[in-house]
Amino acid sequence: MRGRFPPTKLNKYPHMSTEDTIIWNRFLEAYGAEYESFDYDIKVGEGEAPLPTLPDNYKKMVRDLTRKRIDAVGYKDGEIHIFEVKPFAKLSVLGQIIAYTELYTDAHTTSEAIFSIVVCEQVDTDTKKLLTKYRTVIILV
């Protein structure tokens, strides 16, 4: 198993809010069996540069706390799926999913295809149009 977690529901997912957890559990009920495993709360990007006067252990904390966090990464059939989970997908989700996918790709060398997916309960028309234009899959649950 590549990921740390099986494709089954958990009581709590790292970094997900209660509202996101409800949406994610619906996704797992409908699609979880298609996946080998998942990772949650995956840190990507550089984070903020800490003050040079900070002790080394604080510098590491600043970087870790300011890195971007992917809600979930799923593994299936030689593919990697980057997930952003929202009850209502608004325009801001477009920047998030594009950035997370790019930062993940920068940090991980792989021959596997990487796909961007937004899992939500609702999405507005403009956001849906733009997500589709940027080849992001939208899964309504």
Query: The pTM is what?
Result: 0.89
Classified as helix, coil or strand, 90 is coil
- The CATH architecture of the domain made up of 18-140 is 3-Layer(aba) Sandwich (3.40)
Residue spans of the domains in the chain: they are 18-140
- Among 37, 43, 35, 40, residue whose Cα is nearest residue 16: 40
What gap in Å lies between CA 67 and CA 39, rounded to an integer?
16
User: Are the C-beta atoms of 46 and 102 separated by less than 8 Å?
Assistant: no
Strands 79-89 and 113-123: parallel
Output the average pLDDT for the chain: 92
- The answer on pLDDT for 2 being more than 80 is no
Higher pLDDT, 82 or 64: 82
Q: What is the pLDDT of residue 129?
A: 97
| 83-136 pLDDT tens trace | 999 999 999 999 999 999 999 999 998 889 999 999 999 999 999 999 999 999
What gap in Å lies between CA 18 and CA 35, rounded to an integer?
23
